[in-house]
Amino acid sequence: MSSADALAIAVSTWGNVKPVVHYSQSRAVEQNIKCPAQAHSDSYWETMDTCGYDVDVMLEAKFKEIALFKYRELLTNKIAA
């Protein structure tokens, strides 16, 4: 199942409430190491594709606030482009 299909199914379960999704990126991809794919990275290198859905995104990363500021920078650059 694609992430877009999974998100569509998840959003459909929220009814009239704004959905909340958790977002992380893989530490294995970030650091090019062998570890579980679900291990959270320290930060972010791309933004989440919400597929046009209006959702609240909860960020999950090891560096917490530093990761948040990096994500905000990525969003700002994406909007400016």
pLDDT tens digits, 51-66: 999 999 998 888 888 8
Coil vs helix vs strand at 40? strand
Q: At 73, which amino acid appears?
A: E
Q: At 56, which amino acid appears?
A: D
Coil vs helix vs strand at 76? helix
- Would you place residue 79 in the very low, low, confident or very high pLDDT band (cuts 50, 70, 90)? confident
Other beta carbons less than 10 A from residue 8's beta carbon: 13
Domains in the chain: boundaries: 3-80
Note if the pTM is more than 0.85.
no
- Phi first, then psi: what are they for 59, rounded to 5°? -85, 140
Res 23: pLDDT: 85
Q: At 77, which amino acid appears?
A: N
